[in-house]
Each structure stands twice: as C-alpha cells, then as structure tokens.
C-alpha cells in the first residue's frame, strides 16, 4: 500500500522506490504502527534474500496480479512499478476502505496502491489450498515482481527467521483486520436470530475465517437475494462464497470443504504418528513430535483448538501474565 506521507514506514529504500525523503531509522516492532507492521516495505537486502524462494515476473500495464474470488499464485514482492488495489466481497460490494484505513491507522491514499518493496499476500497462501483473493490488484504501468509460491513461502519462513517473522506478522495482522471487519470470506444471508446462522457463524469464528452476516430484516439487498435463491425457508441461510458460489443451508462440513479446510489428498506413505483431536494436547503432541523428526497426521472432527478455543480468556498459561483468549492462543499453536 502506498505511503508517500510516511517515509518512516519502511527500512532501507528498495531498488526503484522513488519515494522522497531521508533514509529513516528502522522502526522497532514496538514503535511501528499497526499499518507499518501490516504492510512492511522490504529493504534491498531483504528483497535479495526473498529472490532465492521465487521467480521474477514482469506484468504489462493493466495486467492482473490478484483477482477477487480467485486464489492467487503465492506471495508477490514488488520490485518496480506500482499496483492499484481495490477490494470487493462475494456480493460485489466494495471493500469499506475508509473503515479499514481507520482501523489500522492509515490514510486512504495508503490503501490504494502497492509500492516497490511491499509484500502482497494472504495468510491462506501458506497452505496448499490458497484462499480466494479479496482484492483486485492490477499493474499501473509496467511492474516487476518476485512471485513466491506457497511452498517457497513456507521455506522462506523457516530459512529466514527474522524476515519470515516480519512477513508472517504482516499476514496475521491482515487476517485479524479482515476478521474484525468481517471482510473477505463467505457472506451468510439469514436472520441473526436463527440457530442455523449461529451454527455456521460460530464455526467460522472458531476457525478464524472472516465472514459477514446479512440479515434480510435489516438489509434490502439480502432480502432480494433471498427471494431469488431460497424461496423455501428450509434452505436458509444461504452462504455466498468468495468466488460467488451459493450454498443453501450448508453443513459445517460442506463449508469446511469448500473453504479448503479439509485436506483432500493424504500422503501415500505411512505416517509415524496419527493424532486424533487438535485441542491443546493434540497440537502440542504434533509440534513436539514433528520437532523430533516424526511425520505426523492430525485428525480433527470440528476445528483446531478444542475446548480451549472456546475459552474467552485463559489466565493460567505460561508466558501470558495478563491472560489470552483461547482462540488466539490456539491459533498461534495451529
């Protein structure tokens, strides 16, 4: 995202970065604003380290880097040129940019363009099932970028601990902001009082998927969509996925499958350990087993976190003297 007015945002200037102003001191993590952490500008040295994990690509003016509703090819690090960004949800409604900017302490101009050195990615790209993009991103003039595929991104996070942590923090903060705004994931259309909406929204909340509920009693668009798609009350709620696909009263499993949360391909070789349940005990066992070099399969019936994921505040966990929400703790473990 562009930041003409905030030269202190990045570290060293990236090659081709034409932003004016003196070389700023790199901000400490504690002092950097949420916006700076969310949209870091990599230094030339950091960009060189990223090159090992991806390929160079050139885009012609107007060419698409990300298309809303479609999974992207991985993470981009922009080397030269600018990328215009607009967002829209599954109903084609525009990203509430002003709300988003306010939430993260940015200006509207900051939100509209990506400049050299910036990282474009979503945390979903860490998995083998990249989630659908919530933005349209197009080259403004010619753009040169490094494209890092999901496996390259995972390798980078392991091999480049400090840089990897910076990128991972940015991706986590972007997802947190999306969840806070309810932007980017499925849109649930149905009465907020309905148990079916509660069932699906509870599942999405626990899974850390951003979503929005539109109540036809309060939203005229939702009401007309319902009239079009679900004349039968038994088919409520309807769920519009980021790619525009519509589901009528789906089960949690349907939703998990279409969101790419259910692994469809298991490795053909044998695993050393199979763990049933991704609660605190299962996740800890998986991490320590893997760190000893064992291949691990974790099978979970609902979603990661177990009972702990449902806890509003856990106050007796090491390292969190003021407590931590169960979902935050479990999401870190996951």
Q: Which residues of this chain interact with ligand FAD, rule CB under 6 A?
A: 276-282, 299-302, 306-308, 310-311, 314-316
Distance (Å, rounded) from C-alpha 230 to C-alpha 192? 16
Which DSSP string corresponds to 100-164?
HHHHHT--HHHHHEE-TTBEE--GGGGSSSPPBBSEEEEEEEEEEEEEE-HHHHHHHHHH-HHHH
Question: Measured from the CB of residue 304, what is the shortest distance to ligand FAD in angstroms?
Answer: 7
Closest to ligand FAD by CB, 223 or 325: 325
Question: Measured from the CB of residue 205, what is the shortest distance to ligand FAD in angstroms?
Answer: 14
- Asked if residues 32 and 3 have their Cβ atoms less than 8 Å apart, the reply is no
Question: Measured from the CB of residue 321, what is the shortest distance to ligand FAD in angstroms?
Answer: 14
Closest to ligand FAD by CB, 159 or 310: 310
Question: Measured from the CB of residue 296, what is the shortest distance to ligand FAD in angstroms?
Answer: 14
- Asked if residues 221 and 187 have their Cβ atoms less than 8 Å apart, the reply is no
Closest to ligand FAD by CB, 268 or 316: 316
Helix, strand, coil content of the chain in percent (nearest 5): 35, 20, 45
Closest to ligand FAD by CB, 152 or 306: 306
Closest to ligand FAD by CB, 229 or 320: 320
Question: Measured from the CB of residue 324, what is the shortest distance to ligand FAD in angstroms?
Answer: 10
Beta pairing, strands 187-189 & 212-214: parallel
Question: Measured from the CB of residue 31, what is the shortest distance to ligand FAD in angstroms?
Answer: 32
Distance (Å, rounded) from C-alpha 19 to C-alpha 14? 10
Closest to ligand FAD by CB, 118 or 300: 300
Among residues 326, 9, 331, 299, the alpha carbon closest in space to that of 168 is found at: 331
Fill in the DSSP letter of residue 213: E
């Amino acid at each position: 995202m562009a930041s003409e007015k905030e030269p202190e945002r990045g570290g060293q200037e990236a090659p081709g970065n034409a932003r004016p102003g003196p070389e700023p001191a790199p901000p400490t993590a504690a002092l950097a604003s949420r916006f700076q952490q969310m949209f870091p500008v990599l230094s030339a040295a950091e960009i060189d380290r990223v090159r090992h994990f991806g390929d160079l690509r050139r885009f012609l003016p107007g060419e698409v880097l990300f298309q809303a509703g479609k999974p992207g090819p991985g993470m981009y690090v922009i080397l030269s040129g600018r990328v215009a960004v607009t967002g829209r949800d599954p109903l084609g409604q525009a990203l509430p940019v002003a709300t988003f900017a306010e939430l993260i302490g940015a200006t509207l101009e900051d939100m509209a363009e990506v400049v050299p050195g910036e990282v474009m990615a979503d945390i979903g790209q860490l998995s083998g099932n990249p989630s659908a993009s919530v933005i349209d991103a197009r080259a403004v003039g010619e753009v040169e970028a490094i494209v890092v595929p999901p496996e390259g991104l995972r390798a980078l996070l392991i091999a480049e601990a400090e840089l990897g942590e910076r990128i991972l923090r940015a991706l986590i903060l972007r997802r947190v902001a999306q969840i806070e705004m309810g932007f980017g994931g499925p849109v649930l259309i149905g009465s907020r009082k309905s148990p079916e909406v509660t069932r699906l929204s509870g599942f999405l909340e626990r899974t850390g998927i951003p979503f929005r509920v539109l109540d036809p009693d309060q939203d005229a668009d939702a009401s007309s969509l319902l009239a079009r798609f679900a004349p039968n009350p038994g088919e409520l709620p309807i769920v519009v996925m980021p790619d525009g696909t519509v589901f009528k009263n789906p089960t949690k499993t349907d939703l998990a499958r279409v969101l790419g949360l259910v692994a469809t391909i298991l490795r053909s070789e044998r695993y050393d350990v199979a763990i049933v349940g991704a609660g605190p005990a299962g996740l800890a066992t998986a991490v320590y087993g893997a760190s000893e070099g064992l291949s691990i399969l974790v099978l979970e019936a609902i979603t990661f976190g177990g009972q702990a994921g449902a806890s509003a505040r856990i106050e007796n966990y090491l390292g969190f003297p003021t407590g931590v929400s169960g979902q935050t703790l479990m999401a870190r473990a996951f």
